[in-house]
């Protein structure tokens, strides 16, 4: 899909505030609300915009402990197997294949250290996991949604 500067600006404005009205966005990109809607619909149809979501503050719902866990897996473990397994654990908020020695990096959030330990034990019990290495997050320094420069 061919995108122009206006499309990029619309995307950036939606990333900053997905609840902004088409009229508000139109005022910032010099288009009418119906013209913005047509562009957003086209971006959604093309798969550029995958959806809209609510972002919560983990601490506000009691999930104040987080960790990144390196997974080391048996030799023939596929990314699809890791995906299926990690989706079974509600504490997993992200899972990634990575370069380096680890096979995957998993981001966990939990209520406290005890809850984190339970989640780690369940993750370690997956049949393809041979070992893990965990790093507990002390503080989040930078956290942004998918950023697009305005």
**Residue 146 clears pLDDT 80, i.e. is over it:** no
pLDDT range class, residue 70, cuts 50, 70, 90: very high
pLDDT band for 53, please (50, 70, 90 cuts): confident
Per-residue 3-state assignment (H helix, E strand, C coil) for the chain: CCCCHHHHHHHHHHHHCCCCCHHHHHHHHCCCHHHHHHHHHHHHHCCCCCCCCCCCCHHHHCCCEEEEEEEEECCCCCHHHHHHHHHCCCCEEEEEECCCCCCEEEEEEECCHHHHHHHHHHHHCCCCEEEEEEEECCCCCCCCCCCCCC
d(CA 147, CA 54): 16
pLDDT at 107 over 80: yes
Residues 6 or more apart whose Cβ sits within 8 Å of residue 142: none
Residue 150 has pLDDT above 70, yes or no: no
In the structure, what pLDDT confidence band is assigned to residue 58 with cuts at 50, 70 and 90? confident
pLDDT band at residue 77 using 50, 70 and 90 as cut-offs: very high
Model-level pTM?
0.75
Confidence of residue 16 (pLDDT cuts 50, 70, 90): confident
Domains of the chain, start order:
5-45 (1.10.10.10), 58-136 (3.30.70.920)
Average pLDDT, integer, range 127-132: 96
């Amino acid at each position: 899909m061919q995108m122009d500067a206006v499309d990029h600006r619309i995307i950036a404005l939606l990333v900053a505030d997905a609840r902004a009205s088409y009229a508000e966005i139109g005022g910032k990109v010099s288009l009418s609300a119906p013209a913005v809607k047509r562009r957003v619909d086209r971006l959604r149809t093309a798969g550029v915009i995958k959806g809209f979501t609510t972002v919560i503050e983990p601490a506000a719902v009691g999930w104040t402990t987080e960790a990144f866990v390196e997974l080391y897996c048996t030799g023939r473990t596929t990314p699809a197997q890791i995906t299926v397994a990690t989706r079974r654990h509600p504490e997993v908020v992200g899972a990634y294949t990575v370069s380096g020695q680890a096979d995957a990096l998993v981001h966990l959030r939990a209520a406290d250290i005890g809850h984190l330990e339970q989640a780690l034990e369940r993750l370690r019990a997956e049949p393809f996991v041979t070992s893990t290495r965990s790093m507990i997050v002390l503080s989040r320094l930078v956290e942004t949604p998918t950023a697009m420069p305005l």
